[in-house]
Amino acid sequence: MTHEDLIRLTGNGNGGPCGEEDCPNVYRTASGSIVVQGELSRVFTPPLGEGLVEIPEEVLREAVRALGW
C-alpha cells in the first residue's frame, strides 16, 4: 500500500489544524481500515511493530463527519 492508495478523510481544506498540509490526518484504506497520522507520542512503549500518534480531537470529528457516522 502507498500513500496514493489511501482515501484522505481530513485536512482537505476544511479548516483543520493544518488546512491542506499533510498533518495530522486520518485516512481510510481500500479494505476499510483507518490509518492515523500525527505527532509521535511517547506516553508508553507499544508492542513491537506498533506506534502511537497523537492527533487533535477536531481531526477525529472531521473524519467521523467525512465517513457519515
- pLDDT at position 47 is 97
The percent of residues above 70 in pLDDT, for the chain, comes to: 84
Rounded to two decimals, what is the model's pTM?
0.78
DSSP state of 68: T
Contact 54, 38 (CB under 8 A): yes
| Domain assignments of the chain as residue spans, ordered by start | 3-67
Residue 60 amino acid letter: L
Cα–Cα distance measured from residue 69 to residue 65, given in angstroms and rounded to the nearest whole number: 6
pLDDT tens string 12-44 = 655 555 655 667 899 999 999 999 999 999 999
Cα–Cα distance measured from residue 32 to residue 7, given in angstroms and rounded to the nearest whole number: 10
For range 40-60, the mean pLDDT:
94
Residue 23, C-alpha cell as written in the block: 498533518
**Is 50's pLDDT higher than 90?**
yes
- pLDDT at position 1 is 83
Please provide the distance, in angstroms rounded to a whole number, between the alpha carbons at the two ends of the chain.
25
